[in-house]
């Protein structure tokens, strides 16, 4: 990272072929009641008019600067932005989401009040394609939590724009991986493994927008599953580094998730990934069904076992 400027909030926005939505995201940062700020837009190899849109934003606003790189996915793009960011605090923002005006004001104040906290978070509003607010039934309820683990092992219960991090915490966590799927969950679990303490702001601080356009992670099924398998293996290593034991309920639930993902990988022909996930699941929970499935796959093959398991699931 560059030399840190005290008090500065650096917002890193990766973007790929999304000029229209990018304007809304950048405007939500520029509308913050807090100063000083900077906006680092990372063009992840766009092939449309996004580079021109970025250049216009940089010309119009002194707080905006641009980085361009070959396409490598959102995680690698965020890392390119982090490498040049100068802020004491870091904000990651996807190009299709937006921040509410007092986000930095409230979260910087929370971090200054809690010197031992490495990240501050608040509530997130979810907005559908028609502009109406959505109830986040797919997420764990947003609650006041002192730490990320063990709950983060079950799901990433916040979204990319929700937290504000101290740059020192992100530096300690290390670089983003080049995973294109679940790279954000893996990154946050790495931060969780540091024992990062959290400050909670009981206010809506960001909006996540659902829309018809594809996400930056859109890829083929096998590629997605390969990245998910790698992400899950890394997440488990972070949980173990944090001291979570196999007996904890969250670890047992994660073992079931590994088993489910192993079946999907097997059905997609990713035999080595399926075998490794079953091995990891058995290390946590040496259950009979994992032993039986592993033995069956050894006889008929991982692809056949995965497809058989999917067929049985559809019949239930």
pLDDT tens track for 34-88: 999 999 999 999 999 999 999 999 999 999 999 999 999 999 999 999 999 999 9
The pLDDT tens digits for 195-253 are: 999 999 999 999 998 876 554 444 568 999 999 999 999 999 999 999 999 999 999 99
pLDDT at 257 over 90: yes
Same domain for 189 and 298?
no
CATH code: domain of residue 9: 3.90.550.10
C-alpha to C-alpha distance for 198 and 137, rounded to whole angstroms: 23
Query: What pLDDT does 216 receive?
Result: 44
Q: Are residues 21 and 147 in the same domain?
A: yes
| Same domain (yes/no): 158, 244 | no
Same domain, 231 and 200: no
Asked whether residue 215 is domain-assigned, the answer is: no
Domain count within the chain: 2
Residue 214 lies in a domain: no
Same domain, 49 and 149: yes
pLDDT band at 309 (very low <50, low <70, confident <90, very high): confident
- Per-residue pLDDT, averaged over 270-283, amounts to 97
Residue that is last in its domain, among 165, 185, 209: 209
Report the candidate in 251, 55, 58, 90 with the shortest Cα–Cα distance to residue 164: 90
Of the residues 155, 188, 209, which one is the last residue of a structural domain? Answer: 209
Q: To the nearest 10°, the Cα dihedral for 178, 182, 187, 188?
A: 170
Mean of all residue pLDDT scores within the chain? 93
Mean predicted confidence (pLDDT) in 166-191: 97
Residue 192's domain spans which residues?
5-209
Cβ(78)–Cβ(176) under 8 Å?
Answer: yes
In whole angstroms, give the CA distance from residue 99 to residue 24: 10
In a domain, 27, yes or no: yes
Instruction: For residues 101 and 152, state if they share a domain.
Output: yes
> Of 284 and 210, which is predicted with more confidence?
284
Residue 306: inside a domain, yes or no? yes
Final residue before a domain boundary, out of 153, 183, 209: 209
pLDDT of 218: 44
**Beta bridge mates, 198:** 119
Same domain, 227 and 259: yes
Nearest to 277 by CA among 289, 292, 265: 265
Same domain, 134 and 282: no
Coil, strand or helix: which one is 191? helix
Residues 78 and 158 in one domain: yes
Same domain, 75 and 167: yes
């Amino acid at each position: 990272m560059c030399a840190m400027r005290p008090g500065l909030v650096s917002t890193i926005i990766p973007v790929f072929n999304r000029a229209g939505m990018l304007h809304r995201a950048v405007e939500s940062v520029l509308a913050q009641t807090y100063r000083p700020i900077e906006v680092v837009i990372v063009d992840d190899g766009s092939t449309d008019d996004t580079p021109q849109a970025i250049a216009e934003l940089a010309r119009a606003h002194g707080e905006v600067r641009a980085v361009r790189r070959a396409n490598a996915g959102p995680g690698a793009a965020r890392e390119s932005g982090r490498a040049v960011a100068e802020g004491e605090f870091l904000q990651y923002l996807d190009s299709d989401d937006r921040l509410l005006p007092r986000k930095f004001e409230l979260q910087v104040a929370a971090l200054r009040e809690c010197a031992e906290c490495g990240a501050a978070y608040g509530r997130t509003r979810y907005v559908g394609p028609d502009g109406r607010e959505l109830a986040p039934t797919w997420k764990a309820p947003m609650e006041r939590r002192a730490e990320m683990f063990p709950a983060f092992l079950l799901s990433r219960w916040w979204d990319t724009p929700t937290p504000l991090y101290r740059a020192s915490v992100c530096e300690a966590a290390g670089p983003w991986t080049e995973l294109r799927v679940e790279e954000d969950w893996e990154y946050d679990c790495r931060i969780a493994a540091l024992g990062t303490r959290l400050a909670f702001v009981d206010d809506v601080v960001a909006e996540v927008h659902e829309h018809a356009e594809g996400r930056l992670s859109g890829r083929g099924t096998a590629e997605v599953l390969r990245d998910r398998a790698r992400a899950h293996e890394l997440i488990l290593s972070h949980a173990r580094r944090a001291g979570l034991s196999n007996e904890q309920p969250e670890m047992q639930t994660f073992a079931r998730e590994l088993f489910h993902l192993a079946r999907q990988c097997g059905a997609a022909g990713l035999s080595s990934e399926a075998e490794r996930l079953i091995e990891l699941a058995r290390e946590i929970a040496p259950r009979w069904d994992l032993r039986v499935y592993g033995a069956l796959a050894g006889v008929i093959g991982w692809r056949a076992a995965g497809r058989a398991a999917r067929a049985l699931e559809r019949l239930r």
